[in-house]
Amino acid sequence: MNTDVFVQGLLLLFTLIVLLSLYIYPKRALANYRQKGRATLQSKRHFVQGAQFLARARSSPNPKTTLSLAKSASLEAEKALSLDPKDAASHILKALALSLQGHNSSAIKSLDSALSPPALKSLSEIERGDALFKRAELQIAVNKRRRVDLALADLIEAVKLSPGNCRAFCLLGSCYEMKEMRDEARIAYERALKVDGSSDAAREGLERLS
């Protein structure tokens, strides 16, 4: 008799635990989901604000205003990343803002983060190509002789992913010229002209090679 009562008590206790878990855990999961959703939304707001600052910085004719707006853009990017560190777009925004401030080495590090897992997954192929082009451009700006091989590797991949980027083909041709790879440089400039027949950089490159 006592054994039956004990077993029934255990069954009742087990049933209560199951019911409580079915009630509590979904509420916790929903709360976590909502919290994550709010953080993502807030991150997007900081990103949009930063992108607006960056656009104004690029269009401003006043260097001091450009610098101030670029700093504001990088701060907004950092706020976005504090909420969503896996967002490649915010890493790229930060890189572009740092580049406007003249911090090219730091900008390269931000692009490294954007082009590495897990952030890389959030970029389309064209976005990846454009980010690789920008990183190559910064590599050349920092030290074109020492970093030309790194830039070249990025550009070869960039034009595959973003074949409509005329500037990427022009920079690829320039890198090939630095490496004294004349045939490859000529092909790159010719492909740049196919993308944009009015490209002065591509025409000048072909003139140098001829």
Over 149-165, what HEC string results? HHHHHHHHHHHHHCCCC
Question: Which residue would you say has higher pLDDT here, 203 or 16?
Answer: 203
The predicted structure's pLDDT at residue 23? 59
Q: What is the mean pLDDT of residues 62-80?
A: 96
Residue 185, pLDDT > 90, answer: yes
Residue given tokens 């006043």 in the structure block = 62
Q: What is the mean pLDDT of residues 50-76?
A: 95
Residue 125, pLDDT > 70, answer: yes
Residue 9, pLDDT > 80, answer: no
Return d(Cα 134, Cα 99) in angstroms, integer.
Answer: 10
Q: What is the mean pLDDT of residues 140-149?
A: 91
The predicted structure's pLDDT at residue 33? 43
The predicted structure's pLDDT at residue 145? 84
Return d(Cα 5, Cα 21) in angstroms, integer.
Answer: 24
Best CA proximity match to 156, nearest among 175, 138, 178: 175
Q: What is the mean pLDDT of residues 185-190?
A: 97
Question: Which residue would you say has higher pLDDT here, 107 or 15?
Answer: 107
The predicted structure's pLDDT at residue 10? 58
- Domain ranges for the chain, please list them: 2-123
One-letter amino acid at 151 equals A
Tens-digit pLDDT profile for residues 17-58: 665 565 555 555 444 445 556 767 898 999 999 999 999 999
Give every CB contact of residue 103 below 8 A, 6+ residues apart in sequence: none
Using only C-alpha atoms, the chain has a radius of gyration, in whole angstroms, of 26
The predicted structure's pLDDT at residue 61? 95
